[in-house]
Amino acid sequence: MTIFRPPIVRTGTAALNRALFSKTVDIAAAAVLDNRLISKYRKSLDAGKEILHVDRVSPIRPHPDKALAEQGRKCLLLAPSVRPEASDTWGPVLKEGVDKKELTVVPYELRLDYDYWTYRDVMGSILPEDLHDEIPSGFNIAGHVAHLNLRDNYLSYKNLVAEIILDKNPQIKTVINKVDNVGSESEFRTFQYEVLAGPGDLNVQVSESDCIFEFDYSKVYWNSKLESEHRRLINLFQPGEVVCDVMAGIGPFAVPAGKKRVFVWANDKNPESFKCLEAAIKKNKVTPFVRPFCEDGRVFIHQAADSVFEASQSGECAVVIRKEALPQTEPSPITTNDTTTTNSNSNPNPPPRPRTRYTTREDRIPLPPTISHFVMNLPASAIDFLPAYRGVYAGREALFAETPDTRQRQRLPMVHVHCFSVKAADQEAALRLAQADICERIGEKLGFVVRPAAAGGGVGEEKGKEEEEEEEGVVAVHCVRDVAPAKSMYCASFRLPREVAFAARG
């Protein structure tokens, strides 16, 4: 409703004058003569569409007359179409309440101030109309820090933006703005920044998937917008499997996976990320399952496959201690003259029930010899790492051979590689373009022809999902999120082809 829009405040200055956002809206209210009738009339006025419906405004208010308000009298705010002096604007419920002398219709001044308006309300009020299409709102939050990536045409408003973000988000204490591009200036995806508001302390604590992470936001990569993608892949991992996280960062995939008893070889080349990863593994008590490494990703792919195999061959396993309650022994019943008495009144001092006793047991979960999933969350360049998979299981073909007793075989690992590709206004067209682009790049780096899954790649409709997944060269492309007007982030998942996995190592 137009009357509930904020006032236009375009002062042309860099100062935020909160007083300019005060506004009074003249409406009507139904004053209730007996507060016990409030619930009844709220429901009936709501059903008759006579009550006020505005976000963040409760329709139940103190009586506008101060003396009556001090006595506890209440009123119900009415829709803007209702005018107190014009009974022809009153609906049937309101008229009936007035006729019964249970209601009176009175003028009401609804006062709205700066605290009422949302961040977007205030920004829309301050910014010129030609900047309304892309109001800075999709900022990344890490603990108490809000991280902006302002476009050039908003830079003159950057301090106002930061001040309003602090006002409207009580959990945020510091606002920073990125001043370079992630992935181009730093191989560790860190970035140069300026502090726009609040203290410059970027040591934060975040919680994701019931795990706690602590880090200096200026020294490692973290993106809270990827939480759903972290969860999506973690849900694919099964307890007892091995996952190799090639670019693990501080562990948003690795640590929660460890909590569900998935073995993870977690690697990051950034020494600061490695240090935070070690701390997260310890803090979240996943040491039996998650092992941290600090290596170049290309080297680590072969290293992980070899070390998992060797650790499995030596009988390594995760030992999990669990606490179990021992069966309780019930106290003997109290007997009198050979008759069992269960009435507590007959014995004012019954013997105490025995305390629950516990024992500890060890669960030993063996480490498999092969990796089930590789994760490569470095979208700017992860595809360039794919040549490192050539020969990853060279000489170990027997690990993936059919066994005579079950006629089943261990499948080669799934590779989940994050990347950037095109975005278009037409979502289906964009996905087709992205699939073609991503598959071409993957095929070039693998030295093996791949094609999109399902409709995008011409795989026969008669094949089921699992059968299609087993086909070499089939790539499932999932859109993770949009990152720029013409660019989206994707995750391409495919089973490592035998020709690549068993190729001779260089």
In a domain, 348, yes or no: no
Are residue 397 and residue 441 in the same domain, yes or no? yes
Q: Of the residues 62, 79, 112, which one is the last residue of a structural domain?
A: 112
Binding site for S-adenosyl-L-methionine, residues?
A: 230, 296-297, 377
- Report pLDDT for 456: 40
CA 39 to chain centre: 38
State how far the alpha carbon of 165 is from the alpha carbons of 173, 183, 465, 483, in Å: 9, 26, 45, 21
Is pLDDT above 70 for 40? yes
Q: What is the pTM of this model?
A: 0.82
In a domain, 419, yes or no: yes
Tens digit of each residue's pLDDT (9 = 90 or more) over 390-414: 999 999 999 998 766 555 678 999 9
Q: How many domains does the chain have?
A: 3
Which residues, 6 or more positions from 423, have their beta carbon under 8 angstroms from its beta carbon?
430, 434, 482, 484, 485, 486, 487, 488
CATH of the domain at 409: 3.40.50.150
Domain region containing 176:
119-201
Are residue 264 and residue 379 in the same domain, yes or no? yes
Q: Of the residues 81, 112, 143, which one is the last residue of a structural domain?
A: 112
Are residue 307 and residue 392 in the same domain, yes or no? yes
Are residue 276 and residue 138 in the same domain, yes or no? no
- Report pLDDT for 2: 77
Are residue 30 and residue 50 in the same domain, yes or no? yes
Q: Which residue has the higher pLDDT, 77 or 346?
A: 77
Are residue 301 and residue 417 in the same domain, yes or no? yes
Among all chains, which residue has been given the structure tokens 């240090």?
A: 275
The dihedral sign for the CA sequence 169, 171, 174, 178:
negative
Mean pLDDT of 85-101: 95
Is pLDDT above 50 for 372? yes
The dihedral sign for the CA sequence 68, 69, 75, 80:
positive
- For the chain, the first-to-last Cα distance in angstroms comes to 69
Are residue 381 and residue 447 in the same domain, yes or no? yes
Are residue 304 and residue 427 in the same domain, yes or no? yes
Among all chains, which residue has been given the structure tokens 């604007």?
A: 89
Confidence label for 446 from pLDDT (cuts 50, 70 and 90): very high
Phi, psi of 258 (to 5 degrees): -60, -35
Are residue 385 and residue 472 in the same domain, yes or no? yes
- C-alpha 455/C-alpha 461 separation (Å) is 8
In a domain, 264, yes or no: yes
Mean pLDDT of 16-35: 94
Are residue 403 and residue 297 in the same domain, yes or no? yes
Q: Which residue has the higher pLDDT, 332 or 85?
A: 85
Q: Which residue has the higher pLDDT, 211 or 409?
A: 211
- Report pLDDT for 45: 96
In a domain, 426, yes or no: yes
Q: Which residue has the higher pLDDT, 407 or 374?
A: 374
CATH of the domain at 177: 3.30.300.110
Binding site, residues?
A: 230, 296-297, 377
Are residue 295 and residue 433 in the same domain, yes or no? yes
- Report pLDDT for 225: 93
Is pLDDT above 80 for 250? yes
- Report pLDDT for 410: 86
CATH of the domain at 52: 3.30.70
In a domain, 329, yes or no: no
Mean per-residue pLDDT over the chain, rounded:
89
Is pLDDT above 90 for 427? no
What does the radius of gyration of the chain's CA atoms come to, in whole angstroms? 32
Is pLDDT above 70 for 41? yes
Are residue 395 and residue 435 in the same domain, yes or no? yes
In a domain, 289, yes or no: yes
Share of the chain above pLDDT 90, in %: 70
Is pLDDT above 50 for 61? yes
In a domain, 232, yes or no: yes
Q: Which residue has the higher pLDDT, 396 or 428?
A: 396
In a domain, 332, yes or no: no
Tens digit of each residue's pLDDT (9 = 90 or more) over 115-151: 999 999 999 998 888 888 778 877 889 999 999 988 8
Tens digit of each residue's pLDDT (9 = 90 or more) over 305-356: 999 999 999 999 999 887 777 777 655 555 545 544 445 455 667 777 777 7
Q: Of the residues 112, 141, 163, which one is the last residue of a structural domain?
A: 112
- Report pLDDT for 220: 95
